[in-house]
Amino acid sequence: MDGMKRWIKRIALTLVLLLIVSGAGLGYVVHLVTSRLQGEMFESDGFPIHYTDEGAGEPVVLVHGLAANADLNWRRAGITDLLAKEFRVISFDVRGHGLSGRSSNPEDYGREMSEDVVRLMDHLGIEKAHVAGYSLGGFIALKAVSDHPDRFASVAYCASGWKDPAGPEEILSPYRPAPTQTTFLHGGVEYRTAYADNGPRLIWGPIDWAKDWIGDAIVDKGSVKALKKNLLGLLVTEDELEAMTVPAICFMGTNDGLKPYADDLKAHLPTVEYVIMNGANHITLAMRRDFREGLRDFFRAHPIHPASPVAHAAAAE
């Protein structure tokens, strides 16, 4: 009986969403995807990268997630505007996405994506910055901070975490509940990782379709395929993770399928501040006011320069 009720609710929600998407909602989605703030371009080791630079103060670099772009991930959620009130906010379209260059060559992704962060900082003459990465962007930020710890004052992993390169090759879906336990063999030894139950899947049917449609409009399938083939180049080892000392925070929703990666990050990097947001999923986390303000407050608490306005703002609270 309970199963039947759940299916009835799903069918009803699907019909409502179809009506929304087929009407004015579709026009709004098209606007969100196609309307962009035109910024600047620079060559990252020969690869064209689109970025915007706004606000004033200590620099913050924002790195978006897979099948998104800088505006859709950060600006539409109100994060860019909030941070730009007291920080210099630099956001860019990850290679293969948005207005940046695209490639079907796997060698153009992997570690090259994390190096784009540092190359952009070099291009703008920024010696040290804060960095935040969302979803895939969190893995990019983790690799950048691991390889260049002296370039970052703090790092925020948002709807992201750490994936052990020695673990299972399959990547968890952010839109489905994570497995309760994963078993894998490495070096002839069996390992078991306990994963929390993240609750029911909250995104299905037309939402999945809309997500895929938006993704196709932002990044072509050839780029996604090439990027996924070189994801291993973005991962840091357990030893590299445990050696990290840059102040870090991780924001994760209880209904996000990537929560096991955040749990593993905390397990191997105990110094990371772990903020679990009840009820948030992989998409809604970015829309929450407490997430936006938490991100701002974390950067305030770790100023690059002790005498900066950001430091004074943090001390006043």
Q: Are 149 and 170 in contact (CB under 8 A)?
A: no
Which residues of the chain carry a pLDDT beneath 50?
A: 19, 21-28, 30, 184-186, 190-207
Q: Which domain holds residue 274?
A: 36-316
Tell me what pLDDT residue 180 has.
56
* Beta carbons within 10 angstroms of residue 296's beta carbon: 20
Residue 60 domain flag: yes
Tell me what pLDDT residue 176 has.
80
3-state DSSP helix/strand/coil % of the chain, to nearest 5:
45, 20, 35
For 141-197, write each residue's pLDDT tens digit: 999 999 999 999 999 999 999 999 988 778 888 988 766 555 544 455 544 444 444
Tell me what pLDDT residue 64 has.
97
Domain count, the chain: 1
Residue 4 domain flag: no
Residue 240 domain flag: yes
Tell me what pLDDT residue 199 has.
42
Provide the CATH number for the domain around residue 117: 3.40.50.1820
How far is Cα of residue 103 from the mean position of the Cα atoms in its chain? 21
Residue 7 domain flag: no
Torsions phi, psi of 290, nearest 5? -65, -30
DSSP annotation of 104 reads S
Predicted TM-score of the model (pTM) = 0.82
Determine whether 188 is exposed, middle or buried from the number of CB atoms within 10 Å of its CB (0-12, 13-18, 19+). Answer: exposed
Residue 27 domain flag: no
